[in-house]
Structure 1
Amino acid sequence: MTDRRPQSISGRYFEPNKSKSRPALLSRSGSRLEIAVDGGLVGAYSSDPEISSRVGNIPRRVTLSDGSVFETSDNDGLELFFGLDRHLSTRFFALEKRSRWTALVAVVCIALVFCVYRYGMPVAARFAASATPAIVSSAIDRGALETLDKVLFEASVLEVHEQERIDALFRTIIDTAGKDTNDFRLLFRDGGAIGANAFALPGGSIVITDQIVQLTENDDELAGVLGHELAHVVEQHSLQQIYRAVGWVIVAGLVAGDSGQLVEEAVAQVGALQSLSYSRAFETSADIYSARLMHTLGRNPLAFIDLLERVTLECGPSCDHSSLLSSHPGTVDRRRDIEQLEFVDP
């Protein structure tokens, strides 16, 4: 019987422990496999490499004996080359060409993605956040601040004595929360185009803009802002946002068949972007945390909401989308949630 297996297959070659690839040709010479790059032989290997499973049209990887990798999008050709054309995965993949099975698989995939989104990703993000070393969180802070300072912020113009006064207030809030002041730092920036804002990064860096300080009418409002952002750090909301975002980038990469580059770009940028919004549950949790702190300090727990309403009036309808402090839930709901709290005196 004529051997209908192809004698070679084209793809990309990755040297051991290197991410850069080169166009290559995988062929067979007797009982060994050969890799050619630019017409020149770069290696010969045993004929029993590790071959990744077939998942849709995602490129397959052939891991060779020295750790180098050959990757190809020609799934059919790869299976013929290695004599895998009767493998269960191939027969399953053939079902994709049948419309009835395709519709069923699509429904199952949608249901699976929903379950992952609704239940799996939040749980995984919480676990990952709790297991993240402090040195990693600090590195995220540095990278995020570097990006934000380049594209959004200018140096603060607040007087030094005013910065010192606000920092002392922040230290009092941290002490009241029972946390170590050495784990946090307060940074001041001119908000520029984004105006009155405040946000927290996972390593304990909290940034407030000159504009939000200028809008406050009393220290109760300012303390409420600081307590709210402290909550995002203490309850690891920022880290969870990062892991959720990166998790979805990985999922998208798997579907698109090029997860490596997507994940690399996400990790580089998401540390800065994650601070622009939180989920409704995270915002509500931070509001409650801050309100309880303000009550313990003898300050007005609702002063923070008064400030949010003023910020909303300052920037108009766009606040619901652009301002960190006016993100959903709306100020009416946030005020109601705090008014319904039962405070217990220490």
Structure 2
Amino acid sequence: MKQITGMYQWGGEARSLAATAFISDDHISIQSNEGEHLNQCLNEQAKFSDAIPGLPVDLIFNNNDRFIPDNPQFRWSAQKSGQRIPELLERNWLTVVIALILVPGFVWLMINKVIPGASEAVVPLIPDRVVAELSEQTLAVIDKIHLDESKLSNERQKAITDQWNQVLNQLALPPDQYTLKFRSFSAGPNAFALPDGTVIITDQIVELTADKPDVLTSVLLHEIGHVHHQHGMKLATQSVATSVLFAMMFGDIEGAGEVVLGTGTALMQSAFSRDMESEADTYAFKQLTALGMSPELFAEAMERLQQAHETDLPESEWLDYLSSHPDTQERIERARQF
């Protein structure tokens, strides 16, 4: 009969005792160091914790009591061979090398192909109430941290809102699905859209386009394009799915709930992808053409924003993810060639 020392722990209790396991051909018996019988089981009924290199394998009884060997290298003869496969794989250098090659490829495939593809299918199924709550949460955070109330006069805001409503009417866009709001942002001109159709423009971008209101219209149409293509929700679902993927891979699945609850912040901190920006640009080009205007207006808007940001960007890195307009010159050329 083989003996192994360890610690006997009662299930559901903060109570343990030094003990010894006596292992025979047909059963395992646990006794305290004073000789008191604590528990026993047949070998074929024995259950064990996962075998992980450097950690002991616990013997788990039906009442959830367990025996933990002192020797982390000890392995039970009653363990089934399949239970030791993960440990054997971790100890095999060839398996480790293969994993180092395959895992990054798997992560790349999930992040760049599978998750974006899945978000395309999932986003249309998300209830409007969820979209509205996410947008409200995001705007509340941005308002609290970065934005101030607009300093534009009521007359100025009304004139721009009338221009906005006229564009929606001409393009037969449902006015109840799109809302224009004004804010002030000291670091520079900007505009952004939330998933529920709320479009925010800053006083600074209004002043930047004051001499040519149609330039502002081109920017607004770009933001409407983000809403039309549901980029905000796609970004949010991809962010959550990616976080959950890494949580599962690195063993922190219990924190996945916090990831979901923090989706609004994730949306605020993320930047639209190059493809999303191009899709919103194309939407703006087509709608400008439908209004009898030239996409050149969007090119001019980009040039003005680029010039303004070259001066203002060092004051706030927040513009990096709120604006997120990569390769501005390329987008200007696309507008002019459309």
TM bucket, shorter chain: 0.7 to 0.9
Computed over aligned residues only, the root mean square deviation of the Cα atoms, in angstroms, reads: 3.8
Q: Which residue of 1 aligns with 2:247?
A: 253
Q: Shift in Å at residue 315 of structure 1?
A: 2.5
Question: 1:181 & 1:54 partners in 2: Cα distance?
Answer: 61
| Aligned partners of 1:187 and 1:205 also within 8 Å | yes
Q: Shift in Å at residue 161 of structure 1?
A: 1.7
Aligned AA (1:235): H
Q: Shift in Å at residue 10 of structure 1?
A: 9.4
Structure 1: gaps of 5 or more residues: 14-22, 28-47, 58-68, 342-346
Residues 340 and 101 (structure 1 numbering): CA distance in 2 closer, same or farther, change over 3 Å?
Answer: same
| Aligned partners of 2:182 and 2:201 also within 8 Å | yes
Question: 1:26 & 1:170 partners in 2: Cα distance?
Answer: 71
3-state SS of the aligned residue for 2:218?
A: helix
Q: Shift in Å at residue 171 of structure 1?
A: 2.2
| Aligned partners of 1:156 and 1:188 also within 8 Å | yes
| Aligned partners of 2:244 and 2:259 also within 8 Å | no
The one of 107, 115, 122 equivalent to 2:101 is 107
| Aligned partners of 1:312 and 1:319 also within 8 Å | no
Question: 1:163 & 1:191 partners in 2: Cα distance?
Answer: 16
Cα distance per residue 1:234-288 (max 9 Å; x no partner):
1001111111111111122123322333551464254464475211111111111
TM-score using structure 2 length: 0.74
The one of 167, 170, 187 equivalent to 1:173 is 167
| Aligned partners of 1:143 and 1:272 also within 8 Å | no
| Aligned partners of 1:242 and 1:271 also within 8 Å | no
The one of 203, 206, 210 equivalent to 2:199 is 206
Residues 94 and 185 (structure 1 numbering): CA distance in 2 closer, same or farther, change over 3 Å?
Answer: same
| Aligned partners of 1:246 and 1:270 also within 8 Å | no
Cα distance per residue 1:293-343 (max 9 Å; x no partner):
1111122322122122122212318759735686343222112222333xx
Count of aligned pairs between the two proteins: 293
Question: 2:275 & 2:223 partners in 1: Cα distance?
Answer: 14
Residues 269 and 116 (structure 1 numbering): CA distance in 2 closer, same or farther, change over 3 Å?
Answer: closer
Question: 1:295 & 1:327 partners in 2: Cα distance?
Answer: 25
Residues 210 and 258 (structure 1 numbering): CA distance in 2 closer, same or farther, change over 3 Å?
Answer: same
Q: Which residue of 2 aligns with 1:226?
A: 220
Q: Which residue of 1 aligns with 2:289?
A: 295
TM-score using structure 1 length: 0.72
The one of 280, 301, 322 equivalent to 1:307 is 301
Q: % of aligned pairs identical?
A: 26
Question: 2:278 & 2:190 partners in 1: Cα distance?
Answer: 17
Residues 138 and 205 (structure 1 numbering): CA distance in 2 closer, same or farther, change over 3 Å?
Answer: same
| Aligned partners of 1:291 and 1:338 also within 8 Å | yes
Residues 107 and 339 (structure 1 numbering): CA distance in 2 closer, same or farther, change over 3 Å?
Answer: same
The one of 87, 92, 100 equivalent to 1:93 is 87
Residues 338 and 256 (structure 1 numbering): CA distance in 2 closer, same or farther, change over 3 Å?
Answer: same
Question: 2:49 & 2:170 partners in 1: Cα distance?
Answer: 54
Structure 2: gaps of 5 or more residues: 18-44, 55-63
Q: Which residue of 2 aligns with 1:344?
A: none
Q: Shift in Å at residue 137 of structure 1?
A: 0.4
